[in-house]
Every structure is written in structure tokens, then in C-alpha cells.
Structure 1
């Protein structure tokens, strides 16, 4: 654990929050640069979500490419995609479970992704990646992207045998996977890959979150969307 993460300063948090929600990348960049903001800080002490996670989940972007532009900017500024929020999820955990964020996941994997960090249920990223192939019907182009992303996850030292709190792991799903998924994993394992243990130091959050005026001003639509995602579990998702 590391110290409790910092919050975006009060004088700028509302403007930054609205800019992210609207997908206004130029305005976000201006606010970050003008105020020398820590891109690993959180916007509120409700979910204690890092700015990068706010950008990933924001609904105001007109296209996925615009979202990627802001995410790439934050990552280049030093945003850490491996840092979990207070609900026990990081940007990788969210992106791997949402097909519309797969290009974002592909991007996160280029920035020192720690793929064996577990989520609130003890599942790592490769667990969700392999399970996802069984639950989704994809077009050929999307399938190719999913396979490429899975390969990148594996190359980061993914642990197929890491069990979650339900006693399940990625290898268990692999037994039911499509031939191309099995073939990809077999090629990777033939190279005697080394599993890379999780190394990210996660924030320490207060046990009881204080209710402050700032939190009450969070955008309700986004907060509800985030809660629906964070409330899920492998059991609810079919695994």
C-alpha cells in the first residue's frame, strides 16, 4: 500500500470534472498544464477514481478515437493505468470487460501494464480476457483486435493459474475457449514465458468515506454508470 492518493485541488476540480465528462480534450490539457495537476490524483473522495479512470468512463466523447486521444495524453503525462480505485478496480479491469474499451485496453498495455493486479474479486486481466471470448459474439475485425490484445496481455507475464476468490482462473476458461484462443496461448507457453508478479503499490483508502460537499456535486449519470460497473462480480457476470 502507498499513501492515500491526492485530490485535484478544489479551485480546479469542477472545471476539470466537467471537461472530462464532455470529452473536451483540449480543455483538459489546458487545465492540467496551467495548474500543473497530478494526473494520478482523484477528482473526488467518493469512488477515489484516478483522473485516467474518469476519462475512460466519460460519456461525452463523440468517438472512441477522441477518447483515446485524451487517454494517451494522460498516460504520457504519467497516469498509471494499474492504480485501483476504492472499489478495487483499475482501468485495465474495466476496459477488459467492456468491448467498447478494447482499443483503450490496447493503449494501456503499451504503458507498463501490470496485468496480474487483481480486482475486488481476485481476478486478473487475463482471466477476464479469456472469459470474454466465450461470452461475446464479435465481427472478424473485433475478433482480431481481441486476439491481439490477449497476446499483449500474455506477453506482459500474465498468470493463467492465478485463482480468484471463487477458486476460478483463466486456465479454467481456456478449456472451453475457441481454437484460435487455445492456439495463441499454446504458442505463448511453448516459449516458456515467465509470469510477472504484480508490482504496483496500491493506494490506502480510508475505511469510511467522508461525505463532503464536493462529492455531492458529482455528475449523477456518470456516478450511476460507474456504480453499475463496480457493483458487478464474476458470479454476476457468469463466472
Structure 2
């Protein structure tokens, strides 16, 4: 079967070191990887991973087009990659840029309210969600941070109510790292087929038993494997997840089919 890492960040080689340092400083962690496409692809040699959903975050309006060009180029060079576009709340014409991103071969959008310093349900981003809903573009949204209110899951409830056809990945089990709180706030509205959750950056905190329990609480037909590279080692994260007490059918959904359904991309 295919195995899709549904949450991985990559950067152009010339800025990767600085980007990795910035993320490490933001989260006060020692980063695993170098943030390059080559560094990410090396995980294939040490795990069953076959594909990666890749993206980056635009922390300034000026970075949007450059990031989208870089992700598209990486995807053209590496068929293992499924690329998502960046967007920023102050970008002047998001509809035109997102159509350009689609024309480049990208399949969705990534937002990180905490590093972009914007409320997830800010009116400027609500315009972006409306465009994504109309274009059929799924959105990966970093959800939750106990230090900030930008990405609190209650804001995601507002978004999902406003855009009933928007497909969303509420990343990190819906509230990093207060995962049970995310479930309490989101589980009712997340019953809809359009709401997915990746479990990236969670296994260190949850351990194998609680990972299985929480995945089953949400429903294993909506949970996606993700590594959050370069923060963690994709091979190690994948191998840990496969060692959890999931059934074969549950693992096939988490590692493969759910990410296909979320991204709209079939892989073999």
C-alpha cells in the first residue's frame, strides 16, 4: 500500500537552515531535519513512506508567490510530493494567486495563524476560505497553541459553520498540545466528512495507547498520519504509528486513504 505523510514542510535549499532555526526558536525545540526536499525524501529509505504532502508558511505577504513557485518546482522534480500553496491574510488578490497555484499543479492551501499572527477567523482569511470553498481546495490549518489565541479551535468552529463545503485538516489532533480540549470543542462539527485531522507533532506527548484512543474517538476514517518534518523524523514517526495497536484497516485509512480523500489526489 501507499503511505502518505500528510504534514511536511520543505524550504528552498538556500533558506532552509534559517527557516528551520526560526521554527525551532518559535517552538523552543531541537529540530530533527534540515528542511530540504532531499532531507525529507531520505525518510523513504528508512520507512514505508511513499508520498509526502508538502507545504510552507508565508509569514509575510511578499513570500507567497515565491513559496508557491518553490513548492511547485519541488513537486515537478519529485513525483512523491503533493504540493499545497501558501497564502497570507494581506495578499492583495488571493483568488488570482490561488488559481495560479492550481495551474502550477498545487492541490490545496496551508495556513499557520500563530506564525502569521492572525486570528484563524479573521475577515481577511474568511475571504480566503470562501475562495477555497468555491475552488474546491482543501486547507491545512495549524490548530491550537496554549501560548496564543490565534488558532484556537473555537475559531475553526466559526469557519466550518460559515463554509459548509470547505474541506479542512485541523492539524495536530485539533489543538496542539491540548489534544483533549480540541476534541471537546470540535468533535460535534467534525462529524462531517469534510473535516480531517492529522496527528503530526502529537506522538511524543500522547504515547501509543492514547494515540490509538484519541484516533478512535475522532474516527479513524478522518485521521491522517503526519510527521511535521523538519521538526520530527518522518521515518521514526511512521514506524511509531505503525507499532500502535491499530487494526490493519485502521492503519490503511490513517496512512493512505484518508490523505487521498483530503487532498483529492490518488496515489499508487
The TM-score, its normalising length taken from structure 2, stands at 0.34
The TM-score, its normalising length taken from structure 1, stands at 0.37
Larger radius of gyration: 1
Considering fraction of residues, name the structure with more strand.
2
